[in-house]
Structure formats: structure tokens, C-alpha cells
Amino acid sequence: MTADLRGPALDDTATADLALVEEATKKSGLVWVRGTGPARALWHLWHEGAALLVGDGPGEQPLPAGLDAGATAEVTVRSKDKGGRLIAWAAAVAVLEPRSEAWEAAVAELKGKRLNTPDADRVTDRWARECRVLRLTPVASRTELPDGSLAAVPLPTTVTTRHPIPAGLPRLLLKRRKRG
């Protein structure tokens, strides 16, 4: 890791905080990222001291507004086992230029972790044409977790479906409760 990606030298407390940020973010499959609008839950990959994201293209996750080159984002990491907020950190946003050396390295890692892609053999070409690949590098070791609930109205989406529940489902659910 080169010093220019991490910024100036860190004291012992900041180094420990950065290690905590890295370990928590690595283990969590999902992070909440806030740019200028509401936070969104995003899948990511921790690689070489930063969280990598891909999105804003057909079939990919929508990225929050305000994640532009040089911007700052707030990242909240959830506990993998309990799902609650574990740690929050500030990040510098870098938009990786398609086909650059940094983009190729990031996409090589992301491609291996992307689940259920319909075009696994051509996904890198699609990402280069239609998506954005972002690198979120910690700039503040930790930020304070907010007090209280951050519950909000779900963001609008076109992927909701409304179908009647199967007729046997209530019976199956009640049967399981009686056994326990």
C-alpha cells in the first residue's frame, strides 16, 4: 500500500481505528453509503485499503447521489451476525476511469464477488460502457454513530412485486410454531 492512498502518517490510535474500520468493512457484505441524499445499502468489496463499489448501470445497484470524484461520503458498516450498526467512517470518493490500471485491478476483484450476473463472461465490458466503479478510501478513522433510529421511508423502486401469498403458507407457518 502506498502512502498517497492513506494520506499522512497516522498516530497509534488512528492506526487502531483504521484497522477496526478495515476489519469490520471486510466482514460485512453490506454497507450503508450516504453521499448528498439518503443513504443506500450497497454490496461492496474491501480491497487494498478501500471499499470498492460498482453500480448505476442496468442490472446493477443504484448508487446514492453525490458520489462524485473528490466528494466525501459517510459509510456505516453493519454487523454481519446481528445486522445492527457497528461502525461509521468518512470516505474520500474516487471514480475509477474505465480501462485504467486502477479500474482493471478493482474490476478483477469485483467480478469474482458479483453474484447472479446474467453476463459473467462479458461483465467487465458492460461495466466499462454503462456503470461506474468507485473507490471509497477512509479519510477519518471513525465517526460517531448517530443516536436513535435512522428508519426512513423506503426509496422508490421498480423492482417490487405484489402477488397473493400461496394458500398453504399460513398453515406451514403455524405448523412450525406449534412444533417449537
Q: Distance (Å, rounded) from C-alpha 63 to C-alpha 41?
A: 9
Checking if the pLDDT of 82 tops 90, the result is no
Find the helix or strand (DSSP H, E) in which 53 lies.
Answer: strand 50-55
Q: Distance (Å, rounded) from C-alpha 54 to C-alpha 9?
A: 29
pTM of the full predicted structure?
A: 0.76
Going by the DSSP 8-state scheme, the letter that residue 128 receives in this structure is H
Q: pLDDT tens-digit profile of 43-57? A: 999 999 999 999 999
Helices (H), 1-86: 3-6, 12-27
Question: How is the chain split into domains, by residue range?
Answer: 3-179
Q: pLDDT tens-digit profile of 128-168? A: 999 999 999 999 666 777 677 777 777 777 776 677 777 88
CATH topology of domain 3-179: Pnp Oxidase; Chain A (2.30.110)
Please say whether the beta carbons of 75 and 32 come within 8 A: yes
